[in-house]
A and B are shown apart, each in its own frame.
Chain A
Amino acid sequence: MKSTSLLKKSASELSGLLKERKITCTQLLTELFQKISATEPSIQAFLQLPDKEKAYEEAAAIDILYAKGETLPLLAGIPIAIKDNICIKGQKTTCASKILENFVSPYDATVIKKLKANKMILFGKTNLDEFAMGSSCENSAFHITKNPHDLTCVTGGSSGGSAAAVASEEVTLALGSDTGGSIRQPASFCGVVGCKPTYGRVSRYGLVAFASSLDQIGPITKTVTDSAQLLNVICGTDTNDATSAAYPVEDFSLSLNQDIKGLKIGVPKELLNDKLQPEVKAAIEKSLAVFEKGGAIIELINFEAFNYAVPAYYIIAPAEASSNLARFDGVRYGLRAENQINLRSMYQKTRGLGFGPEVKRRIILGTFVLSSGYYDAYYLKAQKTRALIKKEFAKAFQKYDILLTPTSPTTAFKIGEMANDPLAMYLADVATIPVNLAGLPAISIPCGVSKDNLPIGLQIIAKNFDEATMIKAAHYFERSK
């Protein structure tokens, strides 16, 4: 059983074992590569598998340092998979799109520089919905990633590959990105922990932009402790990203192992009703009892914002995407349609060939809502709705320390089930989207399984820059459930 035991361990456990020299990095990688050989043909979490030679070289170098007794960063030697919309210098960054199929990034994202500075081992690029647009990982131009708990079900999205890789024990840690729930929802569907930090906590430099006012990179991990420790690595002000907040990074691991006596929890009624899958509702209600037992004070609240966030988001995000994806035109990099009669024809053909249907749908929607004659009726209205949603959250946080919801109204659906109904897919993000519109931190943690053994996720939302309370509550639940 020792040969499978390292795969089950969290990053913090492995870090302890490495420091005590009870295991080596090389041993860990050997088990991970064996696991990938066994499960990756069916899961298909990766777009680019980790480079074995390079990984073992890095592991050997770190093993030497540990053997010498050197003091290394906490997560040194821990392998981490990277969602394929985050740039690594000299490696392909495809965004799961044909338009970037052979694009090799000339620079490292800021988060990648931080991972390298902490001597972590970059471990492959994971699958996603094309340009992070989707909630199932079915919109990848290359292949669909399967849910490790049921291969006929989706992983969720858009960070489906990262969630599946961690859930299937192919990697210890992963990074995803979250614009409307794209870390939290796949974490919920795959039974792992997924955290979207406060907007501005993590630099977006090197993250291929989908919606610039909403996107954030965040950790996908096995435990809340790992999430806190990885947040410590990736957070921080970056002068290369003007939206990166000038806010100090605290040690998020200080929020672990805290009690929650007196913690005031608001539970929006709009997200705890009969519209939920019954097993999800039951799991959330059971989870509330865990918090109550720990001394938290729980109240059901009216929170109308949850009824309006999805339409507002599906105006704002596509609008921003239509602008951000204008750069993919075949001029300087990426796919170019050959032998075109003029420049306009080259743009049209290139983008027509290079973008998948969901990306096209969103660019059309975004272009429409920004166009003359429709801007006020749609985009301006959505921006005002966004302001209203932020106000409602601010009011709630005057009274409550955290808000608690299911991460998703359902467990993972079957592959293909929502393929012909984009609107139904959009509505699945009802619990996660409001958080992005308000820029708040939120975490999804496993809180149960359905009778079909599909994971159920619980979402904890905190106020801006209050990851400390979010982690405190999440860690309490994780160790008490």
Chain B
Amino acid sequence: MLLTKKDLNHILKLAHFEIPESEKEEYLGQLAKILDYMKILDQLDLAKIEPTSENMAYRQGSREDEVRQYEELDLAIMAPDFTENAFQVPKILGGEE
């Protein structure tokens, strides 16, 4: 699978981070090699196999619906900008896309 720069830009938009233009070719080259290696999975006959995404044996199950006291965490202390009891951020709409 050869990712194009357009594919990469789309993924970066989904993943919410940027890479300098000058580095994109290098990432594309590395990713191409990795995705090419994944083709080995095509050798397997997986038609009748149910997928699994976890290893949870011996589940705890639901707890009683009762109020629990948890430790008060000082959320403001690590916040880049916390005023009026809210995390302040730049505007959501508007500006360059």
Residues of A within 8 A of B (CB): 103-104, 106-107, 199-200, 213-214, 237, 239, 242-247, 307-308, 311-312, 314-316, 322, 326, 329-334, 336, 340-352, 355, 360-361, 363-365, 367-368, 371, 378, 380-388, 390, 422-423, 426, 438-439, 464-465
Q: Which 3 pairs across A and B sit closest by C-beta, in order of nearness?
A: A439-B55, A383-B51, A351-B17
* CB-defined A-B contacts under 8 Å, sample of 29: A104-B77, A104-B78, A107-B71, A243-B54, A245-B57, A307-B40, A311-B41, A331-B80, A334-B78, A334-B80, A336-B80, A343-B89, A345-B96, A348-B18, A351-B16, A361-B30, A361-B31, A363-B15, A364-B8, A364-B15, A365-B31, A365-B34, A367-B14, A371-B11, A384-B44, A386-B52, A422-B30, A426-B34, A464-B57
Q: How far is the CA of A219 from the CA of B20 in the complex (A)?
A: 39
Known: A343-B89, A380-B51. A244 touches B60 (CB 8 A): yes
B65 at interface, CB cutoff 8 A = no
- Tell whether, in the assembled complex, residue B15 and residue A388 are in contact, meaning their CB atoms are under 8 Å apart: no
Contacts of A333 in B (CB 8 A): 78-80
Of A243, A307, A363, the contact of B56 (CB 8 Å cutoff): A243
Known: A332-B87, A342-B91, A464-B57. A384 touches B50 (CB 8 A): yes
Closest-CB distance, A103 to chain B (whole angstroms): 6
Closest-CB distance, A180 to chain B (whole angstroms): 14
Closest-CB distance, A134 to chain B (whole angstroms): 14
Q: How far is the CA of A386 from the CA of B44 in the complex (A)?
A: 12
Interface residues of B in 41-94 (CB under 8 A from A): 41, 43-44, 46, 49-61, 63, 71, 73-75, 77-81, 87, 89-94
Which has the most chain B C-beta neighbours within 10 Å: A247, A364, A384?
A364
Q: How far is the CA of A422 from the CA of B31 in the complex (A)?
A: 9
- Tell whether, in the assembled complex, residue A422 and residue B34 are in contact, meaning their CB atoms are under 8 Å apart: yes
- Tell whether, in the assembled complex, residue B15 and residue A367 are in contact, meaning their CB atoms are under 8 Å apart: yes
Closest-CB distance, A433 to chain B (whole angstroms): 14
5 A-B pairs besides A237-B60, A308-B43 with CB distance below 8 A are: A103-B78, A106-B77, A344-B97, A384-B49, A385-B46
Closest-CB distance, B94 to chain A (whole angstroms): 6
* Secondary structure of the B contact surface, majority rule: loop
- Tell whether, in the assembled complex, residue B18 and residue A352 are in contact, meaning their CB atoms are under 8 Å apart: yes
Residues of B within 8 A of A (CB): 3, 7-8, 10-12, 14-19, 27, 30-31, 33-34, 37-38, 40-41, 43-44, 46, 49-61, 63, 71, 73-75, 77-81, 87, 89-97
Q: How far is the CA of A245 from the CA of B55 in the complex (A)?
A: 10
Known: A349-B18, A352-B19, A383-B52. A247 touches B34 (CB 8 A): no
Contacts of B15 in A (CB 8 A): 322, 351, 363-364, 367
Contacts of A336 in B (CB 8 A): 80-81
A382: nearest residue on chain B (CB-CB)?
B41
Of A242, A311, A347, the contact of B16 (CB 8 Å cutoff): A347
Which has the most chain A C-beta neighbours within 10 Å: B89, B91, B93?
B89
Known: A200-B58, A363-B17. A106 touches B52 (CB 8 A): no
Contacts of A378 in B (CB 8 A): 38
- Tell whether, in the assembled complex, residue B60 and residue A308 are in contact, meaning their CB atoms are under 8 Å apart: no
Closest-CB distance, A327 to chain B (whole angstroms): 11
- Tell whether, in the assembled complex, residue A371 and residue B79 are in contact, meaning their CB atoms are under 8 Å apart: no
Contacts of A350 in B (CB 8 A): 17
Contacts of B43 in A (CB 8 A): 308
Closest-CB distance, B45 to chain A (whole angstroms): 9
Which has the most chain A C-beta neighbours within 10 Å: B14, B80, B87?
B80
Contacts of B14 in A (CB 8 A): 367, 371
Contacts of B60 in A (CB 8 A): 237, 239, 242, 244-246
Closest-CB distance, A356 to chain B (whole angstroms): 12
Of A246, A334, A355, A382, the contact of B17 (CB 8 Å cutoff): A355
Closest-CB distance, B4 to chain A (whole angstroms): 12
Closest-CB distance, B20 to chain A (whole angstroms): 8
- Tell whether, in the assembled complex, residue B56 and residue A342 are in contact, meaning their CB atoms are under 8 Å apart: no
- Tell whether, in the assembled complex, residue B55 and residue A311 are in contact, meaning their CB atoms are under 8 Å apart: no
Contacts of A361 in B (CB 8 A): 27, 30-31
- Tell whether, in the assembled complex, residue A360 and residue B34 are in contact, meaning their CB atoms are under 8 Å apart: no
Of B18, B27, B90, the contact of A341 (CB 8 Å cutoff): B90
Q: How far is the CA of A360 from the CA of B17 in the complex (A)?
A: 8
